[in-house]
Structure 1
Amino acid sequence: MKWLNYFLNFNIPFYIYKLNINDSIIFSKNINTNQPMIILYGIVYIIKNFDNNKKTTIAILGAENILYINSMKDDNCYYRIIAINKSFLISFQWKNLININRNLNHLIFKELIRIYIKTNTKYEMMNIIMSHKYVKNRVIQLLLLYALDFGNINKKDIKIPHYISQYTIGKISGTTRTTANRILRNLNYTKFIKYSTDKKISINIHYFYIAKMKNI
């Protein structure tokens, strides 16, 4: 874990959060934090909760992505970071990077810029997914994005290597578990996806390319 080694080797104070499946960290508008977090391992998604009870997913993030809640906070919402699988996040303070060796400082900030750009792409992709009017298209694009980011690709299919529940798929795509279950059953019936014996999802590579060409 590169970032953990950076902080240990150069005595940069840090704190590690461990999240099990469905564990969450909540950042309310009343909490003032200036501590970015880098995902060391695992996958999380971020829900933006508005005061009027409206919710929207703004990103799915994995290892080598960075979270900086202060840059997103406003007075009308709070954020919830939820783990899809076991995840480890490391937090630190900007001020502690200023006091380290100049050459190292340059190296770390160069790496931070790289992962910030990588992370920003994840926010943009989720914005495209959530802009779809129809829930089915949101679910399909969610599966495509998730499989591309975290799946194993071969000639026949793209396999998501861990279980992701219908409840989680529904929550991320902005619908109920019942609706997500109905859509997934239909995708399974049409052979767009299939389930393994341990309920892990694979996407048929042929239908994957069709969906991409149609820009679903």
Structure 2
Amino acid sequence: MKLIKFLKKRKIPFYIYQLNKEDCIILNNINSNNNNIIIVLSGFIFINKVFSNKEILPIAILDRKAISIQTSKELKTYYKLIALEKTYILTINKNIITENRMNIFLTTNILIRYYKTIERYEAINNIMIHKYITNRILQLVFNICIQFGKIKNKKVSIPFQLSSYNIAILTGTSENTVNKIIKTIDQYNIIKNLHQTVIAVDNILNLNLK
């Protein structure tokens, strides 16, 4: 990878970590991670903001084109990064980025990743503005299919499974609600195999749910 080669050549310190599926990282304002930028090298993670009352706000799903958010400045909140599959991340001290700000390659690489990350944030934000949970779930599925999927014969292959738990967190609802809505969606015979890595999508214009 060009970024790793560049960091090694410039003798810039960095660390690479492997996260297995469902492994998580906690980022808050009181640990050493506060000065680090986290770059996804491969795999997928989703980010939640957790408040002191245990309320969870979905933030984004990130892949290797993205870079993680900075940590919270609020002592009573933190960010939780959860791996959707085996994922490799690279951490680098953000102060080093400032010191190397004149290097075109490093600056461009970071800016491109920030741009991709903003797109991911906006995608989740557009999901959460929906009043009806059904519409949130549908838009989440469609966004994931568009951003990360490959289409073949009316089926979309995505690189990770969508569990009811993950769907619930990413749409701001409960697992029970997700399971009930999925049963309703199944009746329309439009989206099939929602919990699998190959999702069948057909006759989408016939869908009219609330």
TM-score range, shorter chain: 0.7 to 0.9
Q: Which residue of 1 aligns with 2:8?
A: 8
Q: Tell me the distance in 2 between the aligned counterparts of 1:10 and 1:203.
A: 47
Whether the 8 Å contact between 2:37 and 2:70 is mirrored in structure 1 is: yes
Whether the 8 Å contact between 1:12 and 1:97 is mirrored in structure 2 is: no
TM-superposed deviation, 1:77: 1.2
Q: Which residue of 1 aligns with 2:154?
A: 156
Letter paired with 2:180 = R
Q: Which residue of 1 aligns with 2:21?
A: 21
The farther-off stretch of 37-46 and 169-178 is: 169-178
Q: Tell me the distance in 2 between the aligned counterparts of 1:54 and 1:176.
A: 12
Q: Which residue of 2 aligns with 1:57?
A: 58
TM-superposed deviation, 1:100: 5.8
Is 2:204 the partner of 1:204? no
Q: Which residue of 1 aligns with 2:78?
A: 78
Task: State the secondary structure of the residue aligned to 1:25.
Answer: strand
Structure 1 runs (4+) deviating above 6 angstroms are none
Q: TM-score, structure 1 length as denominator?
A: 0.85
Q: Which residue of 1 aligns with 2:43?
A: 42
Letter paired with 1:112 = I
Letter paired with 2:8 = L
Whether the 8 Å contact between 1:24 and 1:83 is mirrored in structure 2 is: yes
Identity of aligned residues (%): 31
Shift of the 137–13 alpha-carbon distance from structure 1 to 2, 3 Å rule, reads same
Task: State the secondary structure of the residue aligned to 1:188.
Answer: helix
Whether the 8 Å contact between 1:10 and 1:100 is mirrored in structure 2 is: no
Q: Which residue of 2 aligns with 1:173?
A: 171
RMSD: 2.5
Unaligned regions of 5+ residues in structure 1, if any? none
TM-superposed deviation, 1:160: 2.0
Whether the 8 Å contact between 2:60 and 2:121 is mirrored in structure 1 is: yes
Q: Tell me the distance in 2 between the aligned counterparts of 1:161 and 1:55.
A: 24
Letter paired with 2:47 = I
Shift of the 100–121 alpha-carbon distance from structure 1 to 2, 3 Å rule, reads closer
Q: How does 1:69-148 map to 2 (within 5 A)?
A: 69-70=70-71, 72-97=72-97, 105-148=103-146
Shift of the 156–106 alpha-carbon distance from structure 1 to 2, 3 Å rule, reads same
Task: State the secondary structure of the residue aligned to 2:134.
Answer: helix
Letter paired with 1:55 = I
Q: TM-score, structure 2 length as denominator?
A: 0.87
Unaligned regions of 5+ residues in structure 2, if any? none
Task: State the secondary structure of the residue aligned to 1:66.
Answer: coil
Q: How many residues align?
A: 208
